[in-house]
Every structure is written in structure tokens, then in C-alpha cells.
Structure 1
Amino acid sequence: MPENNIPPDRHVPEPTRRWGLTIPLDGIPLRDQRDLIAELPHLGYTDVWSSESSDADAFTPLALASVWAPTLRLGTAIVPVYTRGPATLAISANTLASVAPGRFVLGIGSSSSVIVEKWNSIPFDEPYKRVRDSLRFLRSALAGEKVTQQYGTFGVDGFRAGLIADPPPPVLLAAMRPAMLRLAGREADGAIVNWLSADDVETVAPYVHAGGSDKEIVARIFVLPGVDSDTARAVGRRRIAAYLNVPVYRAFHEFLGRQEELGGMWQAWSEGDRAGALAAIPDQVVDDLFVHGPPEACLEHIERYTAAGVTTPVISVLTPGDPMPAIRALAPR
């Protein structure tokens, strides 16, 4: 069960260049998060990053955070490139980048067949090409150029943004396997990675850095500070089963070499045996993908990600109840 007695005088590692948090925070209405987000810079957090699946959209929480905590950098991790038209995506990005000049980072990605096809009834065709084409369009559109171009997966005829952010926001790509990781390093400003261990960073980072040593690598990291191992592993197993059976995530972990460790889960899941799939997930896989234990140990584990090549760790707090004790415990100072 959660341990709420987090010592206030703990020693923490020296802060990395950036230290991010996933918003909106779970369990609290977004409209009630003003004071919590306003506290983050005082705790040492530099960034807040949103996502977009079945909860809040990616832009609204960041727009609120831009006012509630005007020093934080704001990032989307990620906005799917299929669920907004190219021009609409550029307009949304320019709007937020204009509200928070120099503090917004646009993270885009293919998302998954579940979100794109099952929830939005949009064909999930050629995701690599769609992300590549979206990136190339956004580079032109965010720079204020008039775009008339037939890309491989869509066409744009005569679009020019009426609102141009100064400076234009950097664009990062959600990437898992080599082709997308290379694209992120070659044509984007960096990569956003997810669902990987600290050791896995050493596998993916070189593909991004082939495009330049200055490329940013953002990693969302699932953290349960002050939670006992059994509880943390139960949470982790449920999430692993829900996500790593989705084809894009399964392919990622096959690339990372987890065929043997996760083969039993994939087999049981394909046979409709949900309980068996959960039971087949090894403790070690959960411990690699979910940071848990005393806050000090969690901080040390997060620092392993930065040592391996992550430039911006983004903490996703999964402890139940009020998230602020955990957020304070995971602050870099």
C-alpha cells in the first residue's frame, strides 16, 4: 500500500538539465489543478508534458499551465498525426507557441491502430510515411510558408498560417523502432520514447544521435514512489497487458529483444486468457518498465535514464490518491 511518510530531509541527486511531469494529474479535476501546477517550478520541475488518448486533449492542459506556471516548458507527447488535419495541427501548435513564446514543444506521432482506427474510424495506413509527411509539412507551415504540396499520404493546397509563432516551436517525433528513430534524429529536433527501461535507452539513443549529438530525447517514465512491490507490480502488469499487446508496442519490444520474456503473455492474450497473460509477465519486466520503491531509490532509477541518454525525463506518477506527496518526493531539489 502507499507509504505517505516521505522524509522531507532526504538527499536527492543533482538535478539534470530538465525534469518533467505528465499532466493533467490523475484523480483531480483539471480545473482544480492550478495551485498544484503553480508549485512545480518551486520544486525544481522545468517541464510539463501532455498526451492525447481517451482523457484530456493534448493542448488544453498546456494552455492552462502556461498561465498557471509561466516559466514551465510545455510539450505534447504526443499529438496523433491522423486525428487532426495537417492545417488544423499547425494552427493548434502555432496558437499555443504564440501564447508561450519559446516555451512550447510540439511532439507528434502515429499513435496506434486502437486510437486511430477503432476510436476515430480513420485507416491506420503507412504510419511511418504519415509521420514523415506531417513533419515535413509542419516544418514549412510553422515557418510561415505557403504550402501547396502533394505529400505521399496527403495533399495540401494553398495553406498559409495566419498566426505565426516567434520562434516556431521545435518538433519532436514519437519513435520506437530504427526507421522512426532515425527520422527523428535526421529531420526533427529529437525523439519522444515511451515504454522502455533505462537499459533500453542505450539501444534506441544511438539511432537518434546519428542525426546529431544535440538532439533531444524525451522519455515518459512510469513511477510509483512509496508503493510496496506487490502493489506496484500489480499496477504494472495490468498496464503492460493493456499496452504491449497492441501491435506497435509489441513490435517495439520484439525489437528490444523481449520475445522470450513476453512470449507467454502474448500467447495467452491471443488465446483469450487474460488472467494467464497477466500471470505470465515476469517480475523483472515490470521492475524494468515501472520505477517503484522508496522515493530515493526511484530518483536514482530515473537518473539511470538520463545517464543512458535521455535529456528530458518526464515522470508519470501512478500512485493512487493525492499525487502531490509523490510529486514533491520526486522533485530534483
Structure 2
Amino acid sequence: MADRLTRNAAHRTLPSEIKAWRVHAFGAPEAMIFESIARPKPGPNEVLVRVHAAGVGPWDAWIRSGKSALPQPLPLTLGSDLAGEVQEVGAGSVNLDIGDQVFGVTNTQFLGAYAEYAVASASMLAQRPHSLSPVQAASVPVVAVTAWQALFEYARLAAGQTVLIHGAAGSVGGYAVQLAHRAGIHVIATAAGADMEYVRKLGAAQVLDYRSQRFEQEVKEIDAVLDLVGGDTQARSFAVLREGGRLISTVSQPDQQLATDRRVTAEFFLVAVTTERLNLIAELVDRGELKVEVGTVLPLADARKAHMMLEGRIQRPKGKIVLCVDSSEEGSSSKPAP
């Protein structure tokens, strides 16, 4: 403990106030306020991270608008995905040290990353992949771990089986296609016509245009469906599963009566980002077996614009939106990692 306190004290002086994107009342992107707040302090099993980049995902918009599946007391600081440098280490068992370059998420509430400094649970961080810049690394944690858990922990897929991935051109879908293909799983995907070639290059053996093709007329006896879309797409997916198959959704709770009638398993889950899962993803990235795509990089001050992109009010390219917090990272490549 004494050594840790000494290291914290010896580190350079930290600001007492920081800039962060806050929400005091749930609502549209206009509800977001960029304001000064007191620098947060790490508690037991936590670290303070100087944020270099923060990822932006649809879950951030759900939280902002008051539609999160988790209770979110106000006021709050938005953001969960991040990459940065450890500045302070809290008490307890923390396998990180000051100066470590890390990536991961802040906490189980998915809060705090749209800021110059953020407190994060040490068990939800890992050493940043060597081959990625902070901007690239901040785009990875939630979506890559979601894809991994859906395929291997919930669908329990193995080589030789077949998966149907809906929304395969999205951030989670892109990782799911790559991870499944790498594992020897036969991938059938749905995507918009303009994205079909992109999804094929990621490793899909068959890609269906969801606008012009009814997937339930094209495929059957599927081992698992990964639902990243929800709604009618989810409901129609029961028809393509083999008996004993699995429907895994990251969007909404599937119809359990329909699952029983079809003799299949249907589950909804919330991602659990851990150091162990992040280390696994980092290893795949550094070996060149998993490609990262950042679509848009904006400065932290433009977080409201990022949320307008999430809602389709401003057009954006394919790929993850990332907020660059450290000005030295603003020129970081937004192209896929090698």
C-alpha cells in the first residue's frame, strides 16, 4: 500500500477539474452538456485513466435518452469504451501500474469515459494491443467482446457448425463474422446490398441482402442465429433454426414461448468486459487475425455531433465512432489495423 501511495504521489500533478460530457436530464443529443467537473478519484480495485480516446456506441445513446436496461442516476458522465494511460491506482488487488497503456471499459454502468480523465475498474481493463493506436483501441472493447461472448459463450459454436449473423456489417457484426470464420464456423450473414462485398471479405461464406431477400426462404437448419437487429428480424429467425439450436440477441429478450414451441434456446445478454476477454482479443489483433475498423474520429468537444451520427441526423461512414481526447492522437489513422 505504501509503495502504491508513493507512486501516486510521485506522478505528475493532476488537474483538480476536468472537462466531461454530462447529462442532467435524459433526452436528445442536445441534452448533453460539456462542462467542468471535479477530477474523479479511484476507489478500491479501480484506477484513474488519462483518457486518450473514447469509443461511441448505441448503448451511449440509450443511456443519454433514458432507455438503458440499467438504472442510471442523474447527473452522469457518458461513455464506457476507452484507451489511455493509468495515472493513479486505488487500493486493493490491481494488476496495473502507473504509466500502463490500457484499453477497456469504465464500469458495469457504462459511464464516465467521455472525459479527460476517467475512473475505471481494473478488472475491466487490459494492456492496449501493441499494433493499435489509442484511437483504434478505444473502438474495440464492447463490440469485440460482445461478438466473442455471443458466438462462443452463449451460442457455444464450434468448428463445422453454421451461424446466421444479422447486421453483419455493423461494429459487433464485423467482429462476429471474423471471429466465427477464424474458428472454422460456416458464416451466413445478412446486410444491406452495398455492404455485401465488405462482409464477404470479412469471412462470410454467404451474404443475403436483407432488403431484397427473405433469409428464412434461403437458409434452414442453422445451428445458431446471432441477432444484432431485433424486431421482426428476430421473430423470423426462429424458423431457420434446427431443433436444439440457439438464438442469441444483443438487442432484446426473445419470445420464450416461441422458443419452446420451436424446441430451441433463445437468450438476450449484456456484455461482460473483463481483463481476460480483452487479453484474448488483444492477442488476436496483434497477430493480425482480427481487423479493426474506425469509421469516424472526432475531438472530445464534438461528442454531441457523434450522437447525432448515431441517430442518423448526420451521415457517417461505416465503422466505429471514436472521440479523440488527447490532441496528439487526432492524426491517428482511422483505417483498419494490419
TM-score w.r.t. the length of structure 2 is: 0.29
Higher relative contact order (CA 8 A, sep 6+): 1
Higher strand share: 2
Higher helix share: 1
